[in-house]
Chain A
Amino acid sequence: MTQDVHQAGSGLILPRYRRDDVDAHPPLLSPGYRSTVARAPQQPLTHLPQRLTEITGPLLGEGRLGDLDHDLTRQHDGEPQGQRIIVHGRVRDGDGRPVPRTLVEIWQANAAGRYRHASDTWAAPLDPHFDGVGRVLTDDHGRYRFITVQPGAYPWRNHDNAWRPAHIHFSLFGRAFTQRLVTQMYFPGDPLFVQDPIFQSVRDPNARQRLIARYDHANTVPEWALAYEFDIVLRGRESTPFEDEDDDE
């Protein structure tokens, strides 16, 4: 029999979230991405048994969304330049359970690879009709859907002739503090992957594939927009808590 709860001294029964595999996320120190060198902690992380603060979390969003926050092409009087795309998918946990009513925030460069940001000095043009920011809540089945434009690749100064592959930044809350995730979505077949130390910082090639959206012809709308499907998996819950007592300090 499986259980996804943990009971001990106080009689409080808490769900416990499965800890991520070592290779599931990029190592904080990934020298190919130069900014990590002075920012990655040198001390090993301290093991924190999950307690009330970690298994709860902000359930936000209802009052935070505008009607057009999901459609980055309709936030101004005119339409932005570029290839219109639909980006959609499901947010689930590691056990396949949908994560409903959770806030998804995205931001991205415009079609020319330029961000609407004071620090972005790349000479590509800004688009007066594109801010590059979107927000949605997943529905009851964990589904989300944005309409936007295909972001452009852009240069950065990390190494010689460095270019970021086209990507969309994603931020997710999930149900609990333990599930909080910020990531980037990439597009299939991008030739810039090989030289991008941020994408390559995920060491496990299978895990890396999970950052790449799938071209979705079934949801591509004729004479209107290409569709990409990007499913997101947040941490699942422990199924056998008694094998993982908090004695590993």
Chain B
Amino acid sequence: MSEPLGVTPAQTVGPYLHIGLRWPDGPYVVPEGTPGAFWIRGRIVDGTGAPVVDAIVESWQADPDGRFDHPDDPRGARPPALAGFRGFGRSETDGQGCYRLLTVKPGSLPDPDGGTEAPHLTLSVFGRGLLHRLVTRLYFPDEQEANAVDPVLCGVNADRRDTLLASPAPDGLHFDIRLQGDRETVFFAV
């Protein structure tokens, strides 16, 4: 096989990201009114504790049955049974550094190495001052048993695992992202 081509390097989205990346329907992984839908809300803070007001969070997840409408899923691409399910969400942070996503809980997933992945969302964070995206995962607080054997969570330092766990909130879940310092969120190299 010939030498792979060098990849195009990443660059920051900069402070004017909203011009190109704002979608009116961005935060809606599912349409409003979808049965079982809930809000995930959280705040992004930097190493000084200041809110990050010029960032964007993107989410990607399986549907409630643990399936993807994608040709590379070896179980076959399957359009979601849930009407309007997009699997993808995008939310800019507001003046308080807060983002929001309306979604439904994904199913668990078979792990190619055996075992089962607990329900999760994968998140990308882009922002001014971030030269490359940050990748993290959000896990569900009511899935203690599944979380305890999740292969990704088990690969994370035990004392940092809770940074990947959302907490219950009145209209769904709360999930803060701390970019740096005290209780820094676990970020992944994919």
* A residues neighboring B (CB under 8 Å): 2, 6-10, 12-15, 17-20, 24-28, 30, 33, 35-43, 45-60, 64, 92-96, 105-107, 115-117, 119-120, 131-133, 169, 171, 175-178, 180-184, 198-199, 201-202, 206-208, 210-211, 232-236, 239, 246, 249
A12 touches B19 (CB 8 A): no
Tell whether A233 pairs with B5 under 8 Å between CB atoms, given A26-B131, A107-B19, A117-B16.
yes
Residue in contact with A106 in the complex, picked from B20, B75, B156, CB distance below 8 Å: B20
Residue in contact with B6 in the complex, picked from A24, A41, A56, CB distance below 8 Å: A24
CB under 8 Å from chain A, chain B span 1-24: 1-2, 4-21, 23
CA distance A249 to B154 in the complex (A): 11
CA distance A176 to B127 in the complex (A): 21
A25 touches B21 (CB 8 A): no
Q: Which residues of B contact A132 (CB under 8 A)?
A: 19
CA distance A225 to B9 in the complex (A): 28
Return the chain B residue nearest A211 by Cβ. B9
Which of A10, A24, A41, A207 has the largest count of B CB atoms less than 10 A from its CB?
A41
17 pairs, CB–CB < 8 Å, chain A vs chain B? A8-B113, A24-B7, A28-B131, A35-B129, A39-B129, A39-B180, A41-B187, A45-B189, A48-B152, A48-B188, A48-B190, A49-B155, A53-B109, A56-B68, A58-B88, A198-B11, A202-B11
Which of A40, A50, A106, A234 has the largest count of B CB atoms less than 10 A from its CB?
A40
CA distance A28 to B190 in the complex (A): 15
Tell whether A180 pairs with B133 under 8 Å between CB atoms, given A48-B152, A60-B88.
yes
Tell whether A46 pairs with B87 under 8 Å between CB atoms, given A53-B62, A57-B70, A239-B1.
no
B134 touches A41 (CB 8 A): yes
A53 touches B120 (CB 8 A): yes
Q: Which residues of B contact A94 (CB under 8 A)?
A: 4-7
Please give me the 9 A-B residue pairs with the lowest Cβ-Cβ distance, nearest first.
A107-B20, A35-B129, A9-B114, A58-B88, A48-B188, A56-B70, A26-B131, A39-B129, A45-B189
B7 touches A10 (CB 8 A): no
CB distance from A81 to the nearest CB of B (A): 18
Tell whether A169 pairs with B188 under 8 Å between CB atoms, given A38-B47, A57-B60.
no
Cβ-based interface call for B82 (8 A) = no
The segment from B30-38, B48-56, B139-147, B167-175 that touches chain A is B48-56
Residue in contact with B132 in the complex, picked from A8, A28, A35, A119, CB distance below 8 Å: A28
A38 touches B189 (CB 8 A): no
Tell whether A41 pairs with B131 under 8 Å between CB atoms, given A10-B114, A95-B5.
no
Q: Which residues of B contact A60 (CB under 8 A)?
A: 86, 88
B11 touches A38 (CB 8 A): no
CA distance A176 to B71 in the complex (A): 10
Which of B19, B128, B129 has the largest count of A CB atoms less than 10 A from its CB?
B19
Residue in contact with B9 in the complex, picked from A119, A178, A210, CB distance below 8 Å: A210
CA distance A239 to B4 in the complex (A): 10
Residue in contact with A58 in the complex, picked from B60, B74, B188, CB distance below 8 Å: B60
Tell whether A177 pairs with B60 under 8 Å between CB atoms, given A2-B1, A38-B47, A183-B11.
yes
Cβ-based interface call for B126 (8 A) = yes
Q: Which residues of B contact A35 (CB under 8 A)?
A: 12, 128-129
B113 touches A9 (CB 8 A): yes
Which of A6, A30, A180, A207 has the largest count of B CB atoms less than 10 A from its CB?
A180
B10 touches A182 (CB 8 A): yes
Q: A52-B110, A182-B126 are in contact. List 14 more A-B contacts (CB 8 A).
A: A2-B1, A9-B114, A10-B112, A12-B75, A35-B12, A39-B52, A41-B134, A49-B152, A53-B61, A56-B68, A96-B2, A120-B16, A198-B11, A198-B131
CB distance from A44 to the nearest CB of B (A): 9
B126 touches A38 (CB 8 A): no
CB distance from A233 to the nearest CB of B (A): 5
CA distance A19 to B190 in the complex (A): 7
Q: Which residues of A contact B72 (CB under 8 A)?
A: 14-15, 55-56, 175-176
Cβ-based interface call for B186 (8 A) = yes
